Structure 1
Amino acid sequence: MNATNQQTDLNNKPRGQLKLLAIMSVVALPIFAAWVMAKFDIGIPDTQKNKSDLVEPVVTAEDWDMPLEPVGYGAPWRLVVTSAEACTDTCMELVHEARQINVALGREAGRVVHVLASGQAQPAGLSERLQNDFPRLEYSTLSTDAYFRSLNEHPESWRQGAQLWVIDPLGRIVLHQDPDEPGKQLLDDLKHLLKVSKVG
């Protein structure tokens, strides 16, 4: 009798282990799947399209006293680096990033220009370096006071140092990219805008 009971216990032991493994997998597999989805951005519903910052309330190039020509239907989209002062290292990195984003647009690159808008003239040496390194870079001016005033209702970090923006063909500043975030976020947003846009 004892031998029979022991044999039954031995037969039941693997079944009990299988049940335990099945229960653990029911809990662990969804957690692992969620981690993979979040890590690799797979299968996540995208209710909010933009990955960079949407500029709300609306700000325009006119609010910055920034002359833009042309403006309106058929005008280009603009990747704009703003710098209230001379273009420092961070500013130069953003100018480089704006150019890289522009190039990465592929066949849509012709619909976009990259611009440096500054509150003061660049020193001669820096200006020469910009022209040599970024021959297709366009230049504009802005009023430092107007620029800071227009961003009063936005995050304070947007008013500190050089910043990267997307301006639509109508002159509205629509997106902001944090200098510490990867430029791919802005690239993805701009690709989406170019795909759905009927202007520019």
Structure 2
Amino acid sequence: MSSSDTTPVQPGKPRGQLKLLAIFAVVLGPILVAGVMAKMGFMPQSNTNRSDLVEPHILLEDWQLAVEPVGYGSPWRILVTSPQDCLDACMALLHEARQINVALGREAGRVEHMLALAAQPTAALQQQLEAEYPRLSRSMLDAGAYQTSLRKHPQEWQQGPQLWVVDPLGRVVLHQDADKPGKQLLDDLKHLLKVSKVG
């Protein structure tokens, strides 16, 4: 009797079926898990921003704010708005906007800080702004248009001075809550500058 007659025959079917099942599990498993998570409401949060995203969107022209330049290659803006005079809370936000701009380091040249008031500033305020914020851009804000554009947004955004981030195309993209630290807006702005191709 030859040695080939004594070699046991390996069954090929079960091994092939296991490989096929493994391939199906790898392909269909994640799809089934995602479907179950979606049905049960366990969707992970994909937002990475720590500041408030402005939705529905607002454009600077909605506030009748004359800002130049706007478009590709224009700067990002850290904008302080005040529908009244620029008093203590407004001045505190201006200081924060400048600190955020400085903290951007080598990216600071891509960003400018800006003030938009609904009322003409007094001579004393103009002198103070020129002395303390010589690089501050200023513009006039239409109070009625400003309030109208904010009707679909949180009530607290409509009261007093506010801090915003505006992209180079003139879209208001982020809002900084007064009760959140400015570092959150700084982190979000750094991320936007890193991924941005427009300014």
TM over 0.5: yes
Alpha-carbon deviations, 1:76-98, whole Å to 9, x = none? Answer: 00000000111010000000000
Please give the residue correspondences for 1:80-159 in structure 2 after superposition, counting only pairs within 5 Å.
80-159=79-158
Amino acid at match of 1:170: L
Q: Distance in 2 between matches of 1:101 and 1:166?
A: 11
Q: So what's the TM-score if we normalise by structure 1?
A: 0.76
TM-score (norm 2): 0.77
| Aligned-pair CA distance for 1:193 | 0.2
> Any stretches of 5+ residues in structure 2 without a counterpart?
1-43
Residue 197 in structure 1 maps to residue 196 in structure 2: yes
1:106-149 CA deviation, whole Å, 9 max, x = no partner? 00000000000010111111111111011111101110000000
Larger radius of gyration: 2
Q: Work out the CA distance in 2 between the residues paired with 1:90 and 1:104.
A: 21
Distance 1:152 1:161 in 2: 15
Tell me how far apart the structure 1 counterparts of residues 165 and 134 of structure 2 sit (CA, whole Å): 20
1:178 aligns with 2:177: yes
- Post-superposition offset of 1:46: 7.5
Cα distance in 1 for partners of 2:67, 2:134 equals 19
| Aligned partner of residue 129 in structure 1, secondary structure | helix
Corresponding letter in the other structure for 2:184: Q
Q: C-alpha separation between the residues in 1 aligned to 2:134 and 2:149? A: 30
1:180, distance to aligned residue in structure 2 (A): 2.2
Aligned residues: 156
| Alignment RMSD (CA, Å) | 1.1
3-state SS in 2 of match to 1:180? coil
Shift of 1:47: 3.1
Secondary structure of the residue aligned to 1:193 is helix
What's the offset of the Cα at 1:67? 0.7
Question: Which residue in the other structure is 2:15 paired with?
Answer: none
Uncovered stretches (5+) of structure 1, i.e. residues with no partner? 1-44
Letter in structure 2 aligned against 1:88: L
1:58 aligns with 57
CA distance in 2, matches of 1:184, 1:48: 17
Distance 1:136 1:144 in 2: 24
Q: Which amino acid counterpart does residue 65 of structure 1 have in structure 2?
A: Q
